[in-house]
């Protein structure tokens, strides 16, 4: 299928955090990379990215769905929920209803909708073990939403960016190689030609750390990343406060790096 108008909705994953362009001009991320794949296979794609870091699913729906529908996309990605799942209290049914409403509206408009399931967060952040049951339950409900509305679903819970080395130091966002693999998986699900299947290949075995080295790494991560995250939650702040979408309107896929 040829896609002419791609709109990406979501949070920091869609914004592309931790995958900087080499020239430092901003974050690239899997959605930019997917747009490049599509445009390389069939030039002329118009692309908008509405993702903003820190957004929960109700905020994505309230802020991004209307503008996305107004752009009349024939392809839309809807990725969100991990910011909800990582909180100690969450109404899972409410989160799913917001996702369902977005997917239903975009599908009804004629767009092909792309969705993800999530890996168990405890695989990357042992401290997030309490979020595992609700994240896996959320995945089951996402599968039902995708099936009900004919969305394309990438099964990252079962196949994808599970290796911690595909994640940035903050353990909340994929690194450049992780984003590359997410984009390739999305292109494969969308049947975009020319995508190599290497994204499925595991990384070489990792060197084992001593207990002391591993403990030190956890302490450094907690001080640099976990404590500030908790602090923002306690103050009612978000990393996305004051941030606007990086590509708020449809525009040609230009000024980006070569697909890799």
Kindly state whether residue 211 falls inside one of the protein's structural domains: no
Kindly state whether residue 26 falls inside one of the protein's structural domains: yes
Examine the pLDDT at 258 and tell me if it is beyond 50: no
Please tell me the distance from the alpha carbon of residue 135 to that of residue 132, in angstroms, as a whole number. Answer: 5
Please tell me the distance from the alpha carbon of residue 161 to that of residue 141, in angstroms, as a whole number. Answer: 20
Kindly state whether residue 205 falls inside one of the protein's structural domains: no
Kindly state whether residue 232 falls inside one of the protein's structural domains: no
Examine the pLDDT at 237 and tell me if it is beyond 80: no
| Average pLDDT score over residue span 71-92 | 94
Kindly state whether residue 96 falls inside one of the protein's structural domains: yes
Examine the pLDDT at 257 and tell me if it is beyond 50: no
Q: Which range, 18-22, 66-70, 81-85, is most confident?
A: 66-70
The sign of the dihedral angle between the CA atoms of 248, 17, 177, 120 is: negative
pLDDT digits (tens, 9 = 90+) for 101-133: 999 999 999 999 999 999 888 888 877 788 899
Examine the pLDDT at 61 and tell me if it is beyond 80: yes
The whole-number pLDDT of residue 78 equals 98
pLDDT digits (tens, 9 = 90+) for 159-175: 767 788 898 888 788 99
Kindly state whether residue 216 falls inside one of the protein's structural domains: no
Please tell me the distance from the alpha carbon of residue 17 to that of residue 10, in angstroms, as a whole number. Answer: 12
Mean per-residue pLDDT over the chain, rounded: 88
Kindly state whether residue 44 falls inside one of the protein's structural domains: yes
pLDDT digits (tens, 9 = 90+) for 182-199: 999 999 999 999 887 778
Query: 196 is in which domain, residue-wise?
Result: 5-200+244-252
């Amino acid at each position: 299928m040829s896609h002419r108008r791609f709109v990406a909705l979501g949070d920091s994953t869609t914004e592309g955090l931790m995958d900087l362009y080499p020239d430092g001009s901003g974050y690239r991320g899997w959605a930019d990379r997917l747009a490049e794949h599509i445009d390389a296979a069939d030039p002329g794609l118009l692309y908008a990215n509405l993702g903003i870091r820190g957004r929960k699913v109700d905020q994505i729906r309230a802020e991004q769905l209307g503008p996305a529908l107004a752009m009349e996309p024939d392809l839309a990605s809807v990725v969100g929920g991990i910011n909800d799942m990582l909180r100690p209290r969450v109404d899972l049914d409410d989160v799913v209803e917001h996702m369902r409403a977005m997917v239903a509206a975009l599908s009804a408009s004629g767009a092909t909708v792309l969705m993800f399931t999530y890996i168990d967060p405890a695989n990357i952040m042992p401290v997030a073990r309490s979020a595992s049951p609700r994240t896996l339950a959320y995945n089951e409900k996402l599968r039902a939403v995708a099936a009900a509305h004919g969305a394309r679903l990438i099964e990252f819970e079962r196949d994808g960016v599970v290796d911690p080395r595909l994640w940035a130091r903050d353990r909340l966002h994929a690194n450049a190689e992780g984003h590359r693999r997410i984009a390739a998986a999305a292109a494969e699900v969308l049947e975009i030609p020319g995508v190599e299947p290497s994204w499925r290949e595991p990384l070489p075995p990792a060197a084992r750390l001593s207990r002391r080295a591993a403990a030190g790494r956890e302490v450094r991560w907690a001080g640099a990343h976990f404590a500030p995250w908790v602090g923002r939650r306690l103050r009612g702040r978000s990393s996305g406060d004051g941030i606007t979408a990086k590509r708020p309107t449809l525009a040609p896929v230009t000024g980006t790096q070569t697909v890799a």
